């Protein structure tokens, strides 16, 4: 199996590091593999190279050594699988490398939430070219929700999904619940700790959760686009709101919900004894089905190796199911 990695920031390097560290185990399960090319905005490397050396060079210099662009690598190199881990962009530029690979008949494994821009189109493109688009890492990190929906629950009718899809928001709301501190103070501390981005708008205004909800909705057969999602963030939540909620046996969480009747991300009252009252940076989801009842799944929603682990799980699934 020949692999091209497009995007070599935190997640891309995490994938490469796991491919090196777990090579023997991976090859026992999927056979021999070779990373034949890597590219990002800093440069590229291709041909006969050691993955360990590419990782070390990028770490020491902040770039890759070659001058070919990611687009050239995607278009010109021969590979069976593209691992696409570039930054999410809610426009066509976010999915150009994936389209290039799928048109060539190469399968794509991605953590890039840009697939929300044209989910249905990408799936049709993959099918028409005998390829597959694998995207477990786009929602919930190591929380195995995509495969659960697409495989184990494939013959169930999914009546709806409700969940916590943003760890930054859940961390902030957890601390507001436990420490009765104002939103602004906790957000500032979360930035210092690296839990929140320097510009946290996409997280705290519910945009990130909304993008993930588009992906989940399409996965369960609802052809949603980002503009279909009703979104309210957490910026107006106060300690007083938590006090009132907890007196009545509730907490507050940013809940993303997809069903035939509702596509919404908003702060919601959650019973304190509910699995969705999960704390910290965890992600969680409750899946309602016609024949299997309610199924709960949770896991760490972000992180270098967590996301890389989800990507490797897709690599194995791609091999296992052909």
- Give, as one character, the DSSP assignment of residue 66: B
Distance CA 90, CA 106 (A): 23
- β-bridge pairing 230-231 and 263-271: parallel
- Give, as one character, the DSSP assignment of residue 156: S
**Strand ranges (E), the chain:** 2-6, 34-40, 43-46, 81-84, 107-110, 133-134, 158-164, 230-231, 250-259, 263-271, 282-289, 294-300
Backbone angles phi, psi at 231, to 5 degrees: -125, 130
- Give, as one character, the DSSP assignment of residue 253: E
Q: 191 an active-site residue?
A: no
DSSP 206-230: THHHHHHHHHHHHHTT----GGG-E
The strands making up 263-271's β-sheet, listed across from edge to edge, are: 230-231, 263-271, 250-259, 158-164, 282-289, 294-300
Q: Which of 2, 191, 212, 261 is catalytic?
A: 212
Catalytic residues: 212
């Amino acid at each position: 199996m020949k692999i091209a990695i497009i995007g070599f920031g935190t997640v891309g390097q995490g994938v490469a590091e796991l491919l090196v560290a777990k090579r023997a185990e991976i090859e026992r399960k999927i056979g021999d593999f070779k990373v034949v090319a890597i590219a990002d905005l800093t440069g590229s490397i291709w041909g006969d190279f050691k993955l360990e050396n590419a990782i070390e060079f990028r770490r020491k210099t902040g770039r890759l050594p070659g001058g070919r662009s990611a687009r050239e690598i995607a278009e010109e190199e021969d590979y069976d699988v593209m691992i696409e881990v570039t930054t999410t962009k809610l426009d066509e530029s976010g999915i150009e490398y994936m389209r290039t690979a799928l048109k060539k008949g190469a399968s794509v494994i991605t953590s890039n939430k840009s697939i929300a821009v044209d989910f249905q189109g990408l799936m049709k493109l993959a099918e028409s070219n005998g390829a597959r688009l694998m995207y477990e890492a786009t929602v919930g990190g190591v929380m195995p929700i995509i495969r659960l929906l697409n495989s184990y629950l494939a013959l169930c009718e999914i009546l709806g999904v409700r969940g916590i899809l943003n760890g930054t928001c859940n961390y902030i709301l957890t601390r507001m619940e436990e420490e009765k501190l104002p939103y602004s103070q906790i957000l500032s501390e979360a930035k210092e700790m690296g839990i929140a981005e320097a510009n946290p708008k996409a997280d705290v205004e519910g945009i990130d959760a909304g993008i993930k909800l588009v992906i989940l909705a399409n996965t369960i057969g609802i052809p949603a686009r980002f503009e279909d999602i009703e979104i309210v963030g957490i910026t107006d939540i106060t300690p007083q709101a938590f006090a009132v909620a907890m007196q009545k046996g509730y907490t507050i969480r940013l809940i993303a919900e997809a069903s035939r009747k509702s596509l919404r991300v908003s702060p919601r009252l959650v019973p304190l004894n509910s699995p969705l009252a999960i704390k910290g940076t965890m992600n969680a989801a409750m899946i309602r089905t016609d024949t299997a009842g309610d199924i709960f799944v949770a896991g760490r929603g972000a992180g270098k190796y967590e996301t890389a682990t989800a990507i490797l799980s897709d690599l194995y699934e791609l091999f296992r199911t052909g």
